[in-house]
Amino acid sequence: MDIPLLLLFSGFLMGLYVAWNIGANDVANSMASAVGAKAITYKQAVVIASILTLVGATFIGSHVTDTIRKGIVDPAFIKDSGTAVIGFISALFAAGLWITFATWQSWPISTTHSIVGALIGFGFICGGKDAISWTKMGEIALSWVTSPILSGLMAFSIFKLLVKFVFKSKSRKKAATVMSPFIIIITISIIFFSLIFKTGLGSLLQGYKLIIAASVALLIILILWIWNSQLTKKAGKVESIFKRLQVMTSGYMALSNGANDVANAIGPVAAIYAILKTGEIGSKVSVPIWLLGFGGIGIALGISTWGHRVMETIGKKITKLSNTRGFTIDFSAATSILIASKLGMPVSTTHAVVGAVIGIGLARGLDALDLGLIKKILYSWLLTVPVTALLTIPVYFGLIKLFR
């Protein structure tokens, strides 16, 4: 096997490894509250998340991604194409190792920040501190604070409103029945706008196609409204109404995670493929749909084999969850992520979900939270970028010796 072919195989292998890690750690977030609140079983969560993640990654995932992930490293400091390929492979491997360790410890961390940290390590090797975009790093550091706070405040506020207008009303079931159709409208609208704006799917649905897509969304709202109205008549308790709503929002989170996070694993692989094919280091590279599907399969494998560890942390250990609280977490995290991403703020899905869980816990009082576990999670967030940056350096020099 010649060197370029071996490098390509190594890139695909590392991309699959990182995709598997994304499924085990990051995408597991989408189903954690549903499992923790017993809206669905773990096996059901695996099936739902795997299917929706694969669909999201393959058909809604980004088709154009920055070769130097999110502009962290200046391409001018990369000496040649061989250096770039080995750098990307090193970054993938280092990021994957850290995510594996974090998943083993049941820590929910950001896979995006893991890749960013690994590329920072690669950038230091190539050109020192001048090769790093510190402005972009400042934005990412800000997201460590904004993501959990925004979703936490939203979860706290929404749950307080539910307590006031549903749980303290004279007829809880009637109040929940009245509110649920509006919740469905808002949720489907969030899903629709998140899939249409600033996505590959949105670029395809221009003009009359967008009108058709909007009409389909309205039809789905009508069907769900009728379905929910019939079932709420049979529902015995408020929690059973929110149980179905929670499954819907958890499914949305899985679809969104697959679409948003597949680039963390596949972006560098696409860059490796393009560099080895053309010999040039371009600023952008087209990602074929089969490669997005390849990443989606890796993510689905991660969910099904090791996703339970992080699901248990978020869904059961931080605070106790009911269906109402679980729905509020998913709804708040999804909404805050959508708002932040459309404002151009780099946010972490993991940080948003954990922030929402903490917000729900605070709504019940500080004693409802496992503060020791939260402290460990915060430490893991702070360690992600420096650890992956440092891990990349020995991996890079080891691969340089191996291939040269």
For residue 326, the model assigns a pLDDT of 85
For residue 223, the model assigns a pLDDT of 74
DSSP SS3 for 39: coil
Give which of 377, 310, 302, 398 is closest to 94, Cα–Cα: 398
Residue 67 pLDDT > 60, yes or no?
Answer: no
For residue 380, the model assigns a pLDDT of 92
Model confidence at 205, in pLDDT bands (50, 70, 90)?
low
119 versus 194: the higher-pLDDT residue is 119
Cα angle 257, 261, 265 (rounded to 5 degrees) comes to 145
Stretch 303-327: mean pLDDT, rounded?
A: 83
CA 271 to chain centre: 21
Domain count, the chain: 1
Tens-place pLDDT, residues 188-199:
777 676 666 655
Cβ atoms 115, 38 nearer than 8 A: no
If you search the block for the tokens 């109040």, which residue do you land on? 175
**What CA–CA distance (Å, rounded) separates 296 from 23?**
9
Mean per-residue pLDDT of the chain: 82
**What CA–CA distance (Å, rounded) separates 158 from 331?**
9
Give which of 155, 198, 167 is closest to 60, Cα–Cα: 198
Give which of 138, 19, 142, 11 is closest to 85, Cα–Cα: 11
Core vs surface per residue 177-197: b (16+ CB within 10 A) or e: bebbbebbeebbebbbebbbe
Question: What is the share, in percent, of the chain residues with pLDDT greater than 90?
Answer: 18
**What CA–CA distance (Å, rounded) separates 324 from 237?**
11
Residue 391 pLDDT > 90, yes or no?
Answer: yes
Q: Which parts of 207-290 are beta strand (E)?
A: 284-286
For residue 230, the model assigns a pLDDT of 64
**What CA–CA distance (Å, rounded) separates 376 from 382?**
10
For residue 63, the model assigns a pLDDT of 58
For residue 121, the model assigns a pLDDT of 94
DSSP SS3 for 295: helix
Tens-place pLDDT, residues 344-355:
666 777 888 889
Core vs surface per residue 357-385: b (16+ CB within 10 A) or e: bbbbbbbeeeeebeeeebeebeebbeebb
Stretch 312-341: mean pLDDT, rounded?
A: 80
Q: In this structure, which long-range contacts are made by residues 187-193, counting pairs with CB atoms below 8 Å and at least 24 apart in sequence?
A: 187/245, 187/248, 187/249, 187/252, 187/331, 188/217, 188/220, 188/221, 188/224, 189/217, 189/221, 190/252, 190/334, 190/335, 190/338, 191/217, 191/252, 191/255, 192/217, 193/338
For residue 144, the model assigns a pLDDT of 75
For residue 370, the model assigns a pLDDT of 84
Residue 219 pLDDT > 60, yes or no?
Answer: yes
For residue 199, the model assigns a pLDDT of 59
Find the helix or strand (DSSP H, E) in which 64 lies.
Answer: strand 64-66
Give which of 36, 57, 157 is closest to 108, Cα–Cα: 36
**What CA–CA distance (Å, rounded) separates 296 from 160?**
37
Residue 173 pLDDT > 80, yes or no?
Answer: no
For residue 227, the model assigns a pLDDT of 67
Select the highest-mean-pLDDT range: 85-99, 147-161, 167-181, 272-286. 85-99
Domain containing residue 252 = 3-403
Instruction: Output the pTM of the full model.
Output: 0.85
Pairing of strands 284-286, 64-66: antiparallel
